């Protein structure tokens, strides 16, 4: 209520434009109209004298005037004074008041609010429906494969994540332009993307397609829901090649996951697979990928022709870029891997720096292209699941993403080298780094205070006074003798001997007596043995008695630290995702 006993309605809001006359008129609420009704016959309108057509809408001055019974030009409103003061002809002269109450009319404000609420509701419904349709559109784009127990059933989890990215050379739907139009595709380009447990860094490890390796048995889901196990292929001198883990004999991406696990000892959580067309559509969706060449790349077979210097490539040119071999110096698959790593690094930088992820139009284009190109395992086979996974993995800063390649050597069983084999010295080191979640880049983390293990603290015997027998339980031929040679010729431990073979063991360990602790610490420092590998007995040894070092399957090479590595080797070839160096 206002100070005069009326409801809290601004009189200025009662002046409305009459479309019929083009003038402002006073329209009262029903209760006000009854109170302001003049004591004249009912045919009287009881309205105020309308202001002139040229008069402006009531101002704050007009509001005060309205409260005093005057119009916007100072004229007295008919009946208003009588309602307030009780003067005038009086209501008694009128007939009996009607018992029928006038139906309230919605004020202009209420009408506006109703229209606004209705419009907002419509927009919200439209957005929700549109969002649902877009969501369903993206979902329908995605192809899924049930890989059984080859991967994780959870979208993401605490701890490290390993995603296998497979680029297949399938020509299905692409015609004869890229070769056999009916090819179901093999594992042409394969990258194991490892993301650290704290999401501070990632390692993208390329696996050369021509590695000679065994392919394990593979249970595959059939269209009728049954499971068919495709027999594995044991490793021979020159066969099978890694790329045969997909496509051959009906092998699906789950078979490639199993082959990678068998080769590296790493557990794979999920896979994502794309074909040639994905390179074209994704590079176009992000507005081209910026690459820099140290020298021209010309390949008549793929029609690639790029001069030295910076280029923005997309579509067909981008595909030619990642597929070329003949334009490279050695024309090898290993050189092409380096080119592909450069391209992927540039694409990561482009997506993160061009506003793609914050621009709805760009994001829709990218998401549409990506989902059309993707085949994934069923555990991540929806937009919501992929979004959840992407949010988790996108925490990694691009400057802490390292690209590496599985270390390989030319196949010694070939005169003309067409295949490669895993380097049994360097590759296990890289696999161990990934397995133990060691970053290949320098990530600043809070310094952890670690108390040294008592077994490694104390005086050390000289190499000359260190005595040890070396046994081979690693399964690697000649490991014990190689270690003895290294100890004698490199470390000066001339009182070392080859003790022959031992039962197979997973872990390397050193057995010694309490009075040999100084020798044990000395040998542990030379061999890179962790404290957990030191097994001290309860009785002292006789004078000049030898300790026993048993090499396990974790043994890599003499002098190579055994146990979880703490840092990547300085000579490990790698490319950082934020590097903008020109590729040669």
pLDDT in tens, 502-529: 999 999 999 999 999 999 999 999 998 9
Q: In angstroms, what is the C-alpha Rg of the chain? A: 41
Domain membership of residue 576 (yes or no) is no
* Mean pLDDT value of segment 83-107: 50
Say how many C-beta atoms besides its own lie within 10 A of residue 399's C-beta: 15
**Contact criterion met (CB below 8 Å) for 246 and 186:** yes
Q: Write out pLDDT tens, residues 445-492.
A: 665 556 788 899 999 999 999 999 999 999 999 999 999 999 999 999
Of 207-221, 421-435, 515-529, the poorest mean pLDDT is in 421-435
Angle at 510 between CA 507 and CA 516, to 5 degrees: 165
Please report, rounded to a whole number, the percentage of residues in the chain having pLDDT higher than 90. 50
270 and 323 in a single domain? The answer is: yes
**Whole-Å CA distances, 560 to 341, 425, 441:** 28, 9, 20
196 and 291 in a single domain? The answer is: yes
427 and 475 in a single domain? The answer is: no
State the Cα–Cα distance between residues 59 and 557, nearest whole angstrom.
93
Domain membership of residue 132 (yes or no) is no
Q: Write out pLDDT tens, residues 381-417.
A: 998 898 888 888 888 888 899 999 999 999 999 999 9
**pLDDT at position 223 over 60:** yes
Please report, rounded to a whole number, the percentage of residues in the chain having pLDDT higher than 70. 72
Residue 112 phi, psi dihedral angles, 5° rounding: -60, -40
458 and 427 in a single domain? The answer is: no
CATH number at residue 493: 3.30.70
Domain membership of residue 481 (yes or no) is yes
- Both tokens assigned to 252: 């699906």
Strand-pair partners of 131: none
Domain membership of residue 505 (yes or no) is yes
State the pLDDT at residue 237: 96
- Both tokens assigned to 211: 């590695």
Domain count of the fold of the chain: 3
Buried (b) or exposed (e) across 124-150, using 16+ Cβ within 10 A? eeeeeeeeeeeeeebeebbeebbbbeb
State the Cα–Cα distance between residues 35 and 58, nearest whole angstrom.
22
Q: Write out pLDDT tens, residues 288-332.
A: 999 999 999 999 888 899 999 999 999 999 999 998 988 998 888
211 and 96 in a single domain? The answer is: no
3-state secondary structure of 398: helix
315 and 166 in a single domain? The answer is: yes
Domain membership of residue 327 (yes or no) is yes
211 and 324 in a single domain? The answer is: yes
**pLDDT at position 562 over 90:** no
Average pLDDT along the chain:
80
- Both tokens assigned to 398: 């691009």
On the 0-12 / 13-18 / 19+ scale of CB atoms within 10 A, 53 is exposed
Domain membership of residue 522 (yes or no) is yes
Domain membership of residue 570 (yes or no) is no
Domain membership of residue 559 (yes or no) is no
403 and 490 in a single domain? The answer is: no
239 and 385 in a single domain? The answer is: yes
**Contact criterion met (CB below 8 Å) for 347 and 282:** yes
CATH number at residue 333: 3.40.630.190
State the pLDDT at residue 180: 52
**pLDDT at position 431 over 80:** yes
- For residue 471, what are the domain limits? 454-551
473 and 504 in a single domain? The answer is: yes
Which residue, 506, 517, 518, is CA-closest to 553?
506
**β-strands 468-472, 496-501 pairing:** parallel
* Mean pLDDT value of segment 254-260: 97
Which residue, 1, 53, 59, 56, is CA-closest to 31?
1
219 and 275 in a single domain? The answer is: yes
256 and 290 in a single domain? The answer is: yes
**pLDDT at position 243 over 90:** yes
Bond before 120 cis per omega within 30 degrees:
no
Domain boundary among 435, 462, 491: 435
């Amino acid at each position: 209520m206002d100070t005069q006993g009326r409801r809290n309605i601004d009189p200025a809001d009662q002046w409305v434009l009459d479309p019929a006359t083009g003038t402002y008129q006073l329209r009262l609420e029903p209760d006000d109209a009854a109170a302001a009704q003049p004591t004249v016959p009912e045919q009287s309108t009881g309205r105020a004298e309308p202001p002139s057509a040229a008069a402006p809408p009531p101002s704050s001055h007009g509001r005060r005037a309205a409260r005093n019974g005057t119009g916007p030009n100072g004229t007295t409103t008919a009946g208003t004074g009588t309602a307030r003061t009780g003067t005038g002809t009086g209501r008694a002269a009128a007939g009996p008041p009607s018992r029928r109450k006038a139906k309230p009319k919605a004020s202009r404000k209420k009408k506006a609010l109703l229209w606004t609420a209705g419009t907002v509701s419509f927009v919200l419904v439209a957005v929700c429906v549109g969002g649902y349709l877009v969501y369903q559109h993206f979902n329908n784009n995605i192809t899924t494969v049930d890989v059984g127990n080859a991967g994780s059933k959870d979208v993401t989890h605490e701890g490290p994540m390993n995603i296998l990215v497979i680029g297949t050379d399938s020509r299905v739907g692409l015609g004869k332009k890229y070769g056999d139009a009916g090819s179901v595709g093999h594992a042409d380009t394969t990258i194991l993307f490892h993301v650290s447990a704290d999401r501070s860094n990632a390692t993208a490890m390329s696996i050369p397609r021509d590695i000679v390796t065994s392919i394990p048995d593979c249970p595959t889901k059939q269209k009728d829901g049954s499971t068919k196990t495709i027999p594995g292929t044991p490793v021979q001198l020159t066969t099978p090649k890694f790329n045969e883990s997909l496509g051959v004999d009906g092998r699906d991406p789950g078979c490639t996951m199993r082959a990678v696990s068998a080769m590296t000892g790493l557990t794979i959580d999920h896979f994502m697979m794309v074909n040639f067309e994905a390179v074209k559509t994704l590079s176009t969706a992000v507005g081209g990928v910026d690459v820099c060449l140290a020298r021209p790349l010309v390949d008549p077979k793929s029609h690639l022709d790029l001069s030295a210097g910076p280029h923005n490539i997309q579509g067909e040119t981008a595909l030619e870029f990642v597929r070329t071999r003949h334009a490279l110096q050695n024309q090898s698959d290993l050189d092409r891997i380096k080119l592909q790593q450069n391209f992927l690094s540039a694409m990561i930088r482009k997506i993160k720096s061009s506003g793609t992820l914050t621009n709805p139009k760009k994001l829709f284009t990218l998401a549409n292209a990506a989902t059309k190109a993707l085949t994934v395992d069923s555990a991540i086979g929806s937009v919501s699941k992929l979004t959840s996974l992407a949010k988790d993995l996108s925490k990694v800063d691009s400057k802490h993403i390292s690209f590496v390649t599985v270390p390989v050597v030319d196949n010694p069983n070939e005169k003309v080298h067409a295949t490669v084999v895993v380097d049994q010295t360097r590759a296990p080191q890289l696999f161990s780094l990934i397995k133990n979640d060691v970053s290949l880049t320098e990530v600043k983390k809070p310094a952890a205070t670690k108390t040294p293990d008592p077994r490694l603290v104390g005086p050390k015997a000289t190499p000359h006074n260190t005595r040890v027998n070396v046994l081979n339980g690693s399964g690697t031929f000649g490991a014990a003798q190689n270690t003895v040679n290294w100890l004698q010729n490199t470390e000066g431990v001339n009182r070392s001997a080859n003790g022959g073979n031992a039962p197979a063991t997973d872990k390397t360990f050193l057995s010694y007596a309490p009075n040999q602790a100084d020798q044990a610490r000395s040998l542990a420092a030379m061999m890179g043995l962790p404290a957990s590998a030191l097994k001290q007995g309860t009785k002292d040894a006789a004078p000049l008695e030898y300790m026993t070092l048993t090499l396990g399957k974790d043994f890599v090479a003499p002098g190579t630290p055994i146990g979880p590595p703490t840092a990547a080797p300085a000579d490990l070839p790698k490319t950082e995702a934020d590097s903008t160096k020109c590729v040669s």
